[in-house]
Amino acid sequence: MGHRGFLLTAWPWRTSGYLLSTVPVVVVAGLPLALIGLPLLLAASPDAALGERAFLAVLGALLVAGLGPLATIPLARLERQRLRLVDDRPTGSAHRRPPGRDALPWLRTRYTEPVTWRELGYFLLLAATVPVLYTALLTVLIFHLGALTAPLILLGSDGPMALGPVKVSTPAAALPYAVAALVLLPAVPYLLALVAAAQAALARAMLQRGSGERLQAELVEVARSRARLVDAFEAERRRIERDLHDGAQQRLLSLTMKLGLAQMDLPPGSAADTVAGAHQEAKQLMTELRELVHGIHPRVLTDRGLAAALGELADRSPLEVAVEADLPGRLPRHVESTAYFAAAEALTNAAKHSVAVRAGLTARWDDGVLTLEITDDGAGGAEPGHGTGLTGLADRVAVIDGRLLVSSPAGGPTLIRVELPCSPNQPTSA
C-alpha cells in the first residue's frame, strides 16, 4: 500500500491473488490437521464421559505434535513462496541443514527447531481464523457489490431488495446507496491490501527466523566452515609431507649415495676433498629435510596413530619423557594432529625455557573428550603471550572447540592440559 499510485499498479491484483490462493492452502492444511486432531474434536463433545474426553484430548495433542509438522513443513515452504506476491523482501528457508541425509537426522533436526513448531502454530491459527475472517470480508464485498448494482437490479424486479438492514423497492430509493458504493469503490483494493498485509506480517513473523535463531544458524555454519578448513589444512599438510618424503627426500638420498660412491672412487686430492665436502653438505641437508618433513606431519602419526606418535616424540626429545596413553584406537585426524603438535610444542618449551630434566605425557579418551597432559620438572613461569608459543597453541586448540589450561607457578612444576572434543562414534579401530 506504500507504493506510489497503488491503484494503478499490479499490487491490487497481487494482494487479491494472495488472498484467493490462501483458501486452497487452508483447505490443504486443514484437512490433514483435522484428521490428525480428530480425537481433539471428539473430546469437545459434551456427550463423552470426562475420562474419555481427557484420553481423547491427550491422544489428539500427541498426534498433532507428532504428525502435524510432517504436514505443515512442506506447506510452510509453499507459504514462503506465496509471500513474494505481497512482499518484495527475500524469504529464505528458516530451517537448518540436517547433519546427514538419512531420515533420522532430518527428523531430529526438524523436531528440535523452534520454527517447526511456529509453522504448526501458524497453520492451526490460519485454519481457525481464515474461515471467519474471509467470510466477513466476503460479506462486506457482496454487500458493496449489491449496493452498487441495486438500481440496475430493481429496474427489472418488482419486489423490494435488502441492503443489509435496509430494504429498497425502487431504483430511485437505491440510487443513494449505489452512489455511496461507487464513491467507496477505490477503498476496496486498500481493504484487501490491508488484510493481505496483516496476514503476510503474521506469516513472516512466524515462518522466518528470529534474530536469535539467525545468529545461532550463522554460528553453526561458522563452526562447520571452520571444521572444513581444519580438515583441508590437515589434508594439505599430509600432502606436503608425502610429496617431500616420496619426492625430494628420495632424490636427495640418491644424490647423497652417489656423492659417497664418487668420493670412494676418486684418488686423494682437491677433487676428492670437494666431493667429500658436498657429500657432508648433502648428508646435513638430508637430516634437516627429514626434520622438516617430520615437523610438517610425522609419518608415524598418519600410519600408526597418536599413541605411537607420542612414543616417538618422547624418544626424540632431549628430556627424559614418560608416556602413558589410554586411547580407543584411532581418533579423527584433526584431533590426533592437534594433540601431537600440542605435545611437541610443550616438550620444546620445557627443553628450551624451563631447564627441565624430566617430563610426562598422558593421553586418555573418556566421555567424548581427549585429554592430553604434559608435565615437566622445570622452573615454571610459562604464560601465554610471553614468547613460549602457548598463544599459538591455544589458538590451534580453540579451532576445533578445545581448550588449553596452563598451570606453571614460579619454581615449577608446569602442567599443560589440552582438552579436545571427540564424539564417541568418531574413534575407530583402524
* CA pair distance 78, 76, nearest whole angstrom: 5
Domain residues for the domain of 376 are 303-421
Task: Indicate the number of domains in the chain.
Answer: 3
* CA pair distance 98, 105, nearest whole angstrom: 6
The verdict on 151 and 37 lying in the same domain is yes
pLDDT below 70 — which residues of the chain?
1-4, 40-45, 48, 90-92, 210-250, 252-253, 255, 258, 263, 272, 285-297, 383-389, 423-430
Query: Of 247, 265, 296, which closes a domain?
Result: 296
The verdict on 276 and 315 lying in the same domain is no
The verdict on 35 and 151 lying in the same domain is yes
> Residue 220 domain-assigned?
no
> Residue 28 domain-assigned?
yes
* CA pair distance 91, 98, nearest whole angstrom: 20
Centre a 10 Å sphere on the Cβ of residue 308 and count the other Cβ atoms it contains: 14
The verdict on 99 and 200 lying in the same domain is yes
The verdict on 283 and 396 lying in the same domain is no
> Residue 172 domain-assigned?
yes
pLDDT value for 426: 44
How far from the centroid of its chain's Cα atoms is residue 185's Cα?
50
The verdict on 247 and 203 lying in the same domain is no
> Residue 25 domain-assigned?
yes
> Residue 233 domain-assigned?
no
* CA pair distance 153, 178, nearest whole angstrom: 11
DSSP string, 86-137: T--S-----SPPPSSSSHHHHHHHHHT-HHHHHHHHHHHHHHHHHHHHHHHH
Q: Indicate the helix (H) or strand (E) that contains 162.
A: strand 161-163
Return the DSSP state at 374: E
Q: Which of 426, 226, 398, 239 has the alpha carbon at shortest distance from 333?
A: 426
Q: Give the angle 217-204-221 at the CA atoms, nearest 5°.
A: 10
Query: Of 188, 207, 226, which closes a domain?
Result: 207
Judge residue 19's burial from the number of C-beta atoms within 10 Å of its C-beta, 0-12 exposed, 13-18 middle, 19 or more buried. buried
Query: Of 296, 329, 345, which closes a domain?
Result: 296
Q: Which of 338, 361, 319 has the alpha carbon at shortest distance from 422?
A: 338
* CA pair distance 381, 149, nearest whole angstrom: 95
Average pLDDT, the chain: 78
Residues 6+ apart with CB under 8 A from 265: none
Centre a 10 Å sphere on the Cβ of residue 206 and count the other Cβ atoms it contains: 20
